[in-house]
């Protein structure tokens, strides 16, 4: 053990002597991009192996009833792996990464490097209606976090490498390196500077080369634009943007309410049974909800929606376009329910793929309605609306309009759709942002005020630790103490000019006494017996409560009260004081640390 430690120490010393910090970050960003690409390859191949084995053979050659059974089996296996192998909670990909950045200083536990690899392919391969993008980002982020810890890098560098992992994951999956960089900046609120730009670029490049090495030129959404954009279609894209915004609100509401429903059940077995049976019923009656759904998206883009809809349980006539429209609308309606049930039952996955799935169906559905309603002379391109619909829902649900625009532009191999992408994404994002200030990824952290955003002041305050600014070396006084006791036992023994007045039995804060409050009488010994502490104490201008007040609200209390010291209570009892000077010093130190 000591020999290993000596070798590691020598490695660290050699690195400090021969490689500058900036060069080392560049090297690590390439490594992180490569590892994220490898993680994407492993997750994708394992998932497709399970899906091909189960859906392609058992369902196709035996009976469709397997659609009902597989999700329950898959979720049960995931539950057993989490309980007996991992022995810790495997959280949803990107929300868990955001939590690590905002509340754990970018530190992610080691098991998170393999947690998603062991569980996500089984969840999705057995029919879970979620995606691989989130687990890939979580795996890459956990790897990058632990690599940064191994080399003793600071919080700012850890956060940057996590962003590099996210960029690498998306670049590898979609072969869209620019969109991947923008995704890391938008979702993880990284600063777009020269210091961060080059590591993100190197990670994205490293990951996409890794993807080409393993998969060649195969892409997830193989499509080339054939129908050019026409200015006369602008009103229709505005309509698409509005519908995308409303659909994004529906997506967010359903996801949130289903998660709250499952939170009522403390037993994971109950959640597994309720969610697994619900998901099994949906997948049995609506097979396109099985897994990620990229085959359905590609069929829509190619103009063959009937291929994905031919197994509808009512055996409806697909030659009737309005039946096709109704079935597509039904898939949009039920996809997020299936995804939320998968998460609620304990499945591991992401919402990126469900967002693309619903967006493509919604866009195709709107185009079909426009072309067949008989009110318009000109028809619109159904394939283009399918693609732009994906961008619209991505902009709304993920609150990432730039990522949505550049992702679709890159996967289609050109920027012919840039104008409709911008129109639809901007409208959808604006509508959804008005209804839901935070994306699905950041909803829980946003409610608690713990989300890191591009607002640097808010980000720094969120990252600050309240325990490090609390001072407890204040002399406590009691309301029954007289002025003489106050002078002898408090003023003389303290180098502070403020004294908390607490109840003797319960330790509750009753008020405060400033030195200025007794300065005029503290030398008048005739008042030592007659004046009591409770007669000269007064209420503090504000009180800070641990567990309730965040650093943002603490700073606001100092601003509004104008005080230099504010008392802190915990569980109703006096705990200490926070001084404005110490708070501002800690703020400045954290700002320097965060900005590198």
Same domain, 251 and 194: no
Boundary residue ending a domain (158, 186, 215): 215
Structure tokens at 386: 């399918």
75 within a domain of the structure (yes/no):
yes
Give the structural domain span for 417: 231-453
In this predicted structure, the answer to whether residue 458 has a pLDDT above a threshold of 70 is: no
pLDDT tens-digit profile of 311-337?
Answer: 666 677 777 888 888 889 999 999 999
Same domain, 72 and 44: yes
Mean pLDDT of the chain: 84
259 within a domain of the structure (yes/no):
yes
Average pLDDT rounded to a whole number, residues 172-195: 83
Structure tokens at 452: 């890191």
Same domain, 266 and 377: yes
| Reported pTM | 0.79
pLDDT tens-digit profile of 62-74?
Answer: 556 667 888 899 9
pLDDT tens-digit profile of 483-510?
Answer: 888 888 888 888 888 899 998 887 888 8
- CATH number reported for the structural domain that contains residue 390 in this entry: 1.10.3080.10
Same domain, 443 and 528: no
Cα–Cα distance, 200 to 168 (Å, whole number): 8
Cα–Cα distance, 230 to 212 (Å, whole number): 34
CB atoms within 10 A of CB 531: 18
Boundary residue ending a domain (215, 241, 257): 215
Residue 229 per-residue DSSP state: P
Q: Strand, coil or helix: what is 476?
A: coil
In this predicted structure, the answer to whether residue 461 has a pLDDT above a threshold of 80 is: no
36 within a domain of the structure (yes/no):
yes
Q: Residue 166, exposed/middle/buried by CB under 10 A (0-12, 13-18, 19+)?
A: buried
- Report the relative pairing of strands 573-579 and 470-471 from DSSP bridges: antiparallel
223 within a domain of the structure (yes/no):
no
Q: Residue 307, exposed/middle/buried by CB under 10 A (0-12, 13-18, 19+)?
A: middle
Same domain, 113 and 153: yes
Cα–Cα distance, 354 to 492 (Å, whole number): 68
DSSP 237-298: HHHHHHHHHHHHHHHHHHHHHHHHHHHT---HHHHHHHHHHHHHHHHHH-GGGSSS-HHHHH
């Amino acid at each position: 053990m000591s020999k290993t430690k000596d070798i590691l120490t020598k490695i660290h010393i050699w690195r400090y002597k021969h490689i500058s910090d900036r060069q080392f970050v560049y090297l690590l960003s390439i490594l992180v991009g490569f590892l994220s690409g490898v993680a994407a390859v492993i997750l994708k191949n394992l998932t497709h192996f399970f899906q091909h084995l189960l859906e392609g053979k058992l369902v196709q050659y035996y009976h469709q009833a397997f659609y009902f059974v597989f999700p329950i089996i898959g979720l049960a296996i995931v539950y057993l792996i989490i309980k007996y192998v991992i022995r810790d909670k495997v959280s949803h990909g990107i929300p868990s990464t955001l939590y690590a950045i905002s509340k754990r200083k970018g530190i992610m536990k080691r098991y998170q490097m393999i947690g998603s690899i062991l569980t996500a392919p089984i969840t999705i391969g057995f029919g879970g209606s979620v995606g691989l993008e989130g687990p890939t980002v979580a795996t890459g982020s956990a790897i990058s976090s632990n690599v940064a810890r191994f080399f003793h890098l600071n919080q700012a560098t850890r956060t940057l490498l996590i962003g590099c992992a996210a960029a690498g994951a998306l670049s590898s999956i979609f072969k869209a390196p620019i969109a991947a960089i923008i995704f890391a900046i938008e979702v993880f609120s990284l600063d777009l500077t020269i210091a961060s730009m080059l590591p993100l670029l190197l990670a994205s490049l490293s990951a996409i080369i890794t993807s080409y090495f393993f998969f060649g030129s195969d892409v997830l959404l193989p499509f080339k634009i054939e129908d050019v954009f026409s200015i006369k279609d602008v009103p229709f894209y505005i309509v698409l943007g509005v519908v995308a915004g409303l659909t994004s609100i529906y997506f967010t509401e359903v996801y949130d309410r289903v998660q709250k429903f499952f939170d009522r059940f403390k037993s994971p077995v109950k959640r597994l049974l309720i969610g697994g049976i619900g998901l099994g019923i949906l997948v049995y009656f609506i097979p396109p909800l099985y897994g990620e759904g990229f085959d359905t998206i590609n069929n829509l883009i190619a103009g063959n929606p009937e291929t994905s809809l031919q197994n509808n349980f009512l055996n409806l006539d697909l030659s009737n376009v309005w039946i096709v429209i109704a079935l597509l609308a039904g898939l949009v309606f039920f996809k997020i329910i299936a995804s939320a049930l998968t998460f609620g039952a304990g499945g591991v996955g992401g919402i990126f793929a469900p967002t693309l799935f619903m967006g493509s169906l919604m866009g195709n559905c709107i185009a079909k309605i426009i072309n067949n309603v008989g009110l318009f002379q000109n028809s619109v391109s159904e394939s283009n609306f399918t693609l732009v619909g994906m961008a619209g829902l991505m902009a709304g649900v993920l609150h990432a309009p730039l990522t949505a625009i550049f992702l679709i532009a890159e996967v289609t191999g050109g920027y012919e759709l840039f104008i409709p992408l911008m129109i639809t994404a901007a409208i959808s994002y604006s509508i959804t942002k008005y209804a839901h200030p935070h994306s699905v990824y950041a909803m829980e952290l946003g409610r608690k005020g713990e989300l890191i955003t591009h607002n640097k002041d808010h980000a720094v305050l969120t990252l600050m630790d309240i325990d490090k600014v609390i001072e407890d070396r204040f002399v406590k006084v009691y309301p029954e103490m007289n002025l003489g006791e106050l002078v002898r036992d408090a003023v003389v023994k303290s180098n502070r000019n403020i004294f908390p007045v607490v109840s003797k039995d319960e330790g509750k804060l009753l008020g405060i006494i400033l030195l200025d409050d007794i300065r005029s009488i503290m030398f008048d010994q005739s008042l030592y017996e007659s004046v009591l502490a409770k007669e000269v104490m007064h209420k503090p201008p504000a009180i800070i409560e641990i567990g309730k007040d965040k650093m943002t609200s603490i700073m606001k209390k100092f601003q509004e009260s104008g005080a230099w010291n504010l008392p802190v209570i915990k569980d109703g009892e006096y705990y200490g004081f926070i001084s404005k000077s110490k708070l501002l010093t800690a703020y400045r130190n954290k700002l320097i640390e965060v900005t590198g």
